[in-house]
Amino acid sequence: MAKTIVHLVRHGEVHNPEKILYGRAPGFRLSERGQEMARLTAAYLAERSVTEVTSSPLLRAQQTAAPIAAAHGLDVLQDARLLESANHFEGLRVGYGDGALWRLRHWPAYINPFRPSWGEPYRSQAERVLAAVRDARHRNEGSEAVLVLHQLPIWVTRRKLEGKPLWHDPRRRQCGLASVTSLHFNGEHFSHIEYAEPAAALYAGAVDATGGKLT
């Protein structure tokens, strides 16, 4: 039975001085530290039997995928199923200004945290990413594929595979910048998950999508 691994790689730190929740907005690129994170993750995967690298269409994911693909002499493919989740607060500075949680016009976005009501349903995210994973596993049976995407879609996909509820505390996500969540398959059957943070040494002072400190 062929063993196949599909690695879900989160993009590196993004240049976001205005601390915008950028979501699917175009043009958000990696910071200098984010580029170094991408290089570290590429080095981590350089000796693996990677035969395909596919990225979310968003710039930050493509930039993270580029050194990974280059290390294996591959081009970066794109798959819209790997997009970031849609979010009611996209483009806003969450917590203050127009995105302040207390503003009345935002209250309907908090009605159902289990769905969640402020963005694309968790189930939808997991289903589209799992479809991309299945296709990648099929195309690269017996080797390894890399999918470069975004934190929340990776995390809910992992929880789906582990049989856990998709709703969760965002502060407890194990999905650091430029991290690698490796899905192992025996034939068509999911086996287990391994997790690595090749860029962890760069986390001190790094910021997430809303400008919050990671450490």
CB 114 within 8 A of CB 85: no
User: Within a 13 Å sphere around the CA of 185, how many CA atoms are in the beta-carbon half?
Assistant: 22
Cα distance between residue 189 and residue 193, in whole Å:
12
For the stretch 35-66, pLDDT in tens is 999 999 999 999 999 999 999 999 999 999 99
CB 195 within 8 A of CB 181: yes
Mean pLDDT of 183-193: 97
Given a cut of 90, is residue 14 above it in pLDDT? Answer: yes
Cα distance between residue 197 and residue 40, in whole Å:
9
At residue 73 the predicted structure's pLDDT band, cuts being 50, 70 and 90, is very high
At residue 106 the predicted structure's pLDDT band, cuts being 50, 70 and 90, is low
Handedness of CA 113, 12, 58, 83 (dihedral sign): negative
Mean pLDDT of 96-110: 63
Mean pLDDT of 65-88: 96
CATH H superfamily, domain 3-91+121-202:
Phosphoglycerate mutase-like (3.40.50.1240)
Mean pLDDT of 139-166: 98
- In percent, the amount of the chain with pLDDT more than 90 equals 75
Q: List, in sequence order, the alpha helices (H) in the chain.
A: 32-45, 59-70, 122-139, 151-161
Q: Long-range contacts: 110-114, Cβ < 8 Å, 24+?
A: 113/167, 114/167
CB 147 within 8 A of CB 7: yes
Whether this prediction's pTM lies above 0.85 is answered by yes
Return the pLDDT at 188: 94
Q: Per DSSP, what are the bridge partners of residue 207?
A: 213
Given a cut of 50, is residue 83 above it in pLDDT? Answer: yes
Least confident of 15-19, 67-71, 151-155: 15-19
Q: Which of 195, 174, 175 is nearest to 184 (CA)?
A: 195
